[in-house]
Structure 1
Amino acid sequence: MKKLLIFALFACSRGAAQAQQSTPYHLLNTITIGGEGGWDYLTVDPAGERLYVSHGTQVEVVDLKTRKLIGTIPNTPGVHGIEVVPGAGRGYITCGRSNTCVVFDLKTLKPIGAPIPTGPKPDALFYDAFSKRVFLFSNDGGKSTVLDAATGAVLGTAELGGDVEAPATDGRGTLFVNLEDKGEVIAFDAQTLAVKKRSSLAPGEEPTGLGYDPKASRLFSACANEKLVVTDSQTGKQVAVLPIGKGADGAVFDPITGNVITSNGASGTFTVIHQDSPTKYRVVGNMPTARGARTLTLDPKTHHLFTCTADYGPTPAPTAENPRPRPSIVPGTFRVLEYGR
């Protein structure tokens, strides 16, 4: 029995090592940003060849031709998401602490007008080219503000019935979002704002990152309990449930490689899952990134992956105002990590 146990442990460790080595991505560049503060989403603008990175109370702008920091958009308290509308020459930023959206000029990076009031805790946002609207998704109660992408005018409020995370689109007028508190992925109409379908993600819990394959009509929801749930976006039926790393907050699908990637901040890994067919998925492996690298974005031109993190210091003592404090962040260590095949 002891020999069998030793052999089994060896086989498992060998299999894990092989999976780790077989992941098709490696670190290409480390882009040092520095400064202080936390982070959330980062967004590639392929037309402008820029990377926008949320960072505390500002947005960092990186030139993807040189991998250099070329500007900063300040006064974005509690920044979460950034979205650009190249045809309108403007970008949009959600500010969770002030319940506002900051609009900025893509050329000058200067603000356009006053911040726009939003629903509570604006988090993710999305520019839908089909409807020519920008959706500012609330992570508290589901009241999501909808803007005219060209002017920033408020067009209405989408009542989505939950705390929204991570949008996607079919490109034909239907948007998809995870509802973190309900454990659901929903579809709604970008024009009427009516919810069209609700699909449970159980056994997945607290979904955040969302990837989408429009060709196969597959949604990929990264859940807090270390599960990726694959859903048929047309029928709402589950297709597969796969294991991922801990602390996932991002998920993307690359149609060129057929890979689904989740960024797992607590594990400090990417989980790479290959779509062998629309009904068959397999975990390729878990590749090391860095602790705290929990969000990611995909450059559709180069198919490179970008995530960000910093070094951690001691965790402050709990207080009545902050009973579960996060670890401190070492000043000057904030950085972007770029991965490719």
Structure 2
Amino acid sequence: MLSHVSISAVVLLSAGLAAIGPALAADVPYRKAASIAIPDGAWDYASVDAEARRLYVARGDGVLVLDLGSGRLTPNLVPGQRVHGVLPLGGGLAVSTNGDSNTATLFNTADGAVLASLPTGAKPDAVVQADGQVAVMDGKQGDITLIDPAARAVVGHIAVGGALEFAAMDAQGHLYVNVEDRNELVVVDLPGRAVLARRPLPDCDGPTGLALDPATGVLVTACSSGRAVAMNAADGHVLASLPIGKGADAVILDAKNHRFLIPCGHDGVLAVLSQDARGVPAVTAIVPTEKGARTGALDPVTGRVYLPTATFEGEAGRRPKPVPGSFHLLVLEPVQ
């Protein structure tokens, strides 16, 4: 359940958040709507297919699906081997990445039928759409595998280097990729299949999640160390470096409101970054969630946010462990 601690208390108690101040307590944009039990097991990225009204969650053993209309849960639509990402493609197709088998699975979303199993680089992680293709970030190998879903084939690779995390694509053929172990954001020319630039991320240790607001051209990177870096995608100019919370692993774009939502699993908060008239983001709210909620997805139709997590416990000085039977989807709804 959500903690009853006040927003201002969360701000003061969370490491690195004291500078934001208690003023954020006045306007809480989200409240808890539900907690949906799911089977035990590891999870990673989540994604929403707004057209099909479905939520996908990458799990250790496959792909979990929640029907956003009926609430029907399908614990394992298609099996996988430590699935990291699920990308709905539209037209009843989706792609998932399998970190243990170094493959990507193209499957039918209606029944989970596997249409193709395609080889990737080592430890395929995030997966994004890229100019009609699918781009898979090979986290351990440090390259990008390109897939043509229509041909059901791998059509190329792009060498980047480093531990690749999430990526975002613009309308000019540029793919932006966070490199976790180098604290940089790499700009890739997708048509030319070449690295164009390597941009340092100041005050950022362990860049993970990434999102681009196409309307403003603003990129936001989440750093696991407790900061977010906002950058102008076109020229690499750093717009802001902001304290959020520790343990972030995703940036969720709320395109309708031009906001970035960052779930911070270590501190159990959701940082809300809103853009001003110039497109410069600022932290405008810190919403209590639950420890462990580090990834998630937003339903653009309802505005609800879905955060996979579990209840964690453990002795002091040791890494907390999930309590068996406590895995769930935390659902936040916007406050009207």
Scaled to the shorter chain, the TM-score interval is 0.7 to 0.9
> How do 1:95-110 and structure 2 match up within 5 A?
95-110=98-113
Matched, 1:93 2:86: no
- Does the C-alpha gap of structure 1 residues 182 and 278 become closer, same or farther in structure 2, counting only changes over 3 Å? farther
Residue 81 of structure 1, CA deviation:
0.3
CA contact (8 A) 1:84 1:127 kept: no
Give the letter aligned to residue 331 of structure 1. P
User: Any idea what SS the aligned residue of 2:290 has?
Assistant: coil
Q: TM-score, structure 1 length as denominator? A: 0.87
CA-CA distance at 1:279 after TM superposition: 5.3
Alpha-carbon distance in 2 for matches of 1:209, 1:250? 4
Residues 94-136 of structure 1, C-alpha deviations (whole Å, 9 max, x = no match): 11111111221111112124x22210111100122xx210111
Secondary structure at the counterpart of residue 41 of structure 1: strand
| Distance in 2, Cα, partners of 1:160 & 1:230 | 22
1:30 aligned to 2:32? no
State the identity as a percent: 34
Tell me if structure 2 keeps the 8 A contact 1:228–1:241: yes
Post-superposition Cα deviations, 1:295-337, rounded to whole Å, max 9, x if no partner, equal 022222233222110122447xxxxxxxx98543223222112
- Asked if the contact 1:42/1:52 (under 8 Å) is kept, the reply is yes
Answer yes or no: is the 8 Å Cα contact 2:228–2:244 preserved in 1.
yes
Q: CA deviation at 1:237?
A: 1.4
Q: Matched residues in 2 for 1:199 and 1:160: separation?
A: 13
Query: 71-80 or 136-145, which moves further after superposition?
Result: 71-80
- The 2-side partners of 1:311 and 1:157 are apart by 39
Aligned equivalent of 1:265:
265
The equivalent of 2:255 in structure 1 is: 255
CA distance in 2 between partners of 1:219 and 1:334 (Å): 31
**1:64 matched residue in structure 2:** 68
How many residue pairs match? The answer is: 319
Distance 1:20 1:67 in 2: 32
**Do 1:198 and 1:236's aligned partners in 2 also have CA atoms closer than 8 Å?**
no
3-state SS of paired residue (1:19)? helix
Residue 122 of structure 2 is aligned to residue 120 of structure 1? yes
Q: In 2 relative to 1, CA 303–189 (structure 1 residues): closer, same or farther, beyond 3 Å?
A: farther
Contact kept in structure 1, 2:77 and 2:111, CA below 8 Å = no
Number of the residue aligned with 2:331: 338
Matches within 5 A, 1:307-326: 307-314=307-314
- Report the TM-score, using the length of structure 2 for normalisation: 0.88
Q: Deviations over 1:209-251 (max 9, x none)?
A: 1121122211100112211101111111111111001101111
Alignment partner of 2:162: what SS?
coil
RMSD of Structure 2 on Structure 1 (CA): 2.4
Q: Which segments of 5 or more consecutive residues in structure 1 lack a partner in the other structure? A: 1-8, 316-323
Contact 1:133 1:149 in 2 (8 A): yes
Per the TM alignment, residue 40 of structure 1 is displaced from its structure 2 partner at its CA by 0.5
Contact 1:183 1:206 in 2 (8 A): yes
- The answer (yes or no) to whether the contact 1:254–1:260 under 8 Å persists in 2 is yes
Alignment of 1:1-341 (within 5 A): 16-33=21-38, 35-70=39-74, 72-87=76-91, 89-113=92-116, 115-128=117-130, 131-278=131-278, 280-314=280-314, 327-341=320-334
Amino acid at match of 2:126: A
Q: Is the 8 A contact 2:44 2:84 kept in 1?
A: yes
Structure 2 CA distance, aligned partners of 1:134 and 1:281?
29
Shift of 1:72: 1.8
Equivalent pair of 2:296/2:308 in contact (CA under 8 Å): yes
Larger Rg: 1
Q: Which runs of 4+ in 1 moved over 6 A?
A: 12-15
In the TM superposition, what whole-angstrom CA distance separates every residue of 1:244-267 from its partner, at most 9, and x where no partner exists? 011011112323223221110000
Give the letter aligned to residue 120 of structure 1.
Answer: A
